[in-house]
Amino acid sequence: MRLQKYLAHSGIASRRKAEEYIRKGYVQVNGQTVREMGIVVEKGDIVSFRGEVVKLEDKKYYILYHKPRGEVCTALDPEGRPTVLDKFKDFNVRLYPAGRLDLDSEGLLILTNDGEFAKRVTHPRYGIIKSYIVQTTDVLSKNKIDILRHGVCIDNIKVVPVKLRVLSQNESGQTLLISIGEGRNRQIRRMLESVGTKAKHLKRIQCGKLRLGKLPLGSWRELTEDEINYFFES
């Protein structure tokens, strides 16, 4: 099994994130740090992540978490801020987020120890649409809304067209429903900034057919079998 796949199936991170960890020198095989892709883990090899031995996990977990504002989507934060994994320290496996929400955002977040599942949730090739309720600091003109719908440029790369609906508005701003198929860093916030406004509140409410529903803020539940199968069949 290739090293990045081994790490994903051990609950360290998604395969893509595992490749990043390898490049940074966080991973050792039989005591030797490796930085190149393609290393194959054989039976009897000892794999370590940041000095801690990791093993393949048999039981897979699939968690829907209602992330509050103020939590970061990392296992460890150098600044000591709360993380989305703090509530899961007593789990007997290492969970990690399938996708991210920034510090100031809240809403639906999936946590898992299944690297293949995480890839199906996050990789654009699987076409999983994420939907957000966004409150803006300004009222956007029809022209600016059309610009957002057709796709703006972020880092000189055009965002694919998005679905956008105005739910309500008043003199202080609008409430928008925005659905995207990409997951660039702070994408919706940067999209809005490109047309001269900001998101003062952002909440992810849906990922594919999986809905946040009435799950209380800061609470979690396990995905149902049908919900898990949906992502594997997408």
Catalytic residues, by residue number, are 102
Q: Which residues contact 214 (CB under 8 A, 6 or more apart)?
A: none
Distances (CA, A) of 208 to 114, 145, 212, 228, 229: 18, 23, 11, 11, 12
Instruction: Identify the H or E element spanning 110.
Output: strand 106-112
* DSSP, res 137: S
SS3 206: strand
CB 203 within 8 A of CB 133: yes
CA separation for the pair 37, 19 (Å, rounded): 7
Extract the tokens encoding 95.
């969970």
What does the block give as tokens for 131? 């939907």
Rounded-to-integer distance, Cα 51 and Cα 38, Å: 21
